[in-house]
């Protein structure tokens, strides 16, 4: 696996001027944080150079919506949010299990078992809002629900990659949770990819979307 550390795309983010991003996420409930933090601490003891996620930001990314410009068409913006609300309400609440860890070229993550529901939501939004939301290579068939535990700061992560293949970490069971709502948020990428103490300022709330019968709350 060819590792891609932050430094290889950090300058692109800064030079683009587009540092505020909108997306749909499911926030991991605090009762699951302790087990995730325990594994993070084990990883940190192996390699402290990497960027470890602030527990307050633990989430499952569901669908990127795109960068937010200084000036936006508010009518179009609201129409997109209303369409997302209608799509999400078609899905009944469901349960997820957070179990096992693995790595992308950019990060170590906890795996999420959801019966394919998040992927279905991703695909519906991609299809029904085509041209109005971002389409990325991580959507549709490439979509994988996960919770980022550590983002790579260096290319030399062999010790971490070895550790997560050991049974002690590979088979970690972080618990389960019900999914009753997903959230639209603004993400300041400079804060999100900064030190832990700035990460909890990276996410700002836009709107919640309730699944099924909870949609009317």
| Kind and range of the H or E run holding 188 | strand 181-188
Q: Quick: pLDDT tens for 143-177.
A: 999 999 999 999 999 999 999 999 989 999 999 99
Q: How would DSSP label each residue in 15-79?
A: HHS--EEEEEEEEPPGGGHHHHHHHHHHHHHH-TTSEEPPGGG-EEEEEEEEEPPSS--HHHHHH
pLDDT range class, residue 190, cuts 50, 70, 90: confident
Average pLDDT of the segment spanning 130-141: 90
Q: Quick: pLDDT tens for 70-120.
A: 556 667 888 999 999 999 999 999 999 999 999 999 999 999 999 999 999
CB hemisphere CA count around 180 (13 angstroms):
7
Is residue 184 within 8 Å of 24, Cβ to Cβ? yes
Instruction: Quote the pLDDT of residue 195.
Output: 87
Average pLDDT of the segment spanning 175-202: 91
Structural domains present in the chain = 7-216 (3.90.1140.10)
Average pLDDT of the segment spanning 45-69: 93
User: Does 196 or 184 have the greater pLDDT score?
Assistant: 184
Instruction: Quote the pLDDT of residue 17.
Output: 58
Instruction: Quote the pLDDT of residue 12.
Output: 72
């Amino acid at each position: 696996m060819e590792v891609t550390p932050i430094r290889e795309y950090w300058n692109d983010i800064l030079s683009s001027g587009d540092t505020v991003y909108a997306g749909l996420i499911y926030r991991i409930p605090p009762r699951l944080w302790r087990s995730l933090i325990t594994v993070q601490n084990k990883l940190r003891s192996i390699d402290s150079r990497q960027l470890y996620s602030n527990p307050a930001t633990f989430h499952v990314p569901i669908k990127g919506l795109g960068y937010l410009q200084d000036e936006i068409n508010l009518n179009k913006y609201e129409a997109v949010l209303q369409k997302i609300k209608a799509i999400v309400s078609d899905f009944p609440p469901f349960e997820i299990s957070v179990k096992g860890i693995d790595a992308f070229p950019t990060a170590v993550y906890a795996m999420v078992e959801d019966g394919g529901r998040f992927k279905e939501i991703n695909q519906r939004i991609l299809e029904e809002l085509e041209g109005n939301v971002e389409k990325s290579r991580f959507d549709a068939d490439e979509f994988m629900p996960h919770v980022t535990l550590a983002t790579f700061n260096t290319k030399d992560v062999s010790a971490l990659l070895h550790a997560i293949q050991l049974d002690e970490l590979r088979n970690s069971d972080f618990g389960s949770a019900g999914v009753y709502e997903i959230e639209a948020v603004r993400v300041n990428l400079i804060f999100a990819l900064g030190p832990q103490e700035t990460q909890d300022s990276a996410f700002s709330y836009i709107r919640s979307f309730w699944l099924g019968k909870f949609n009317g709350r």
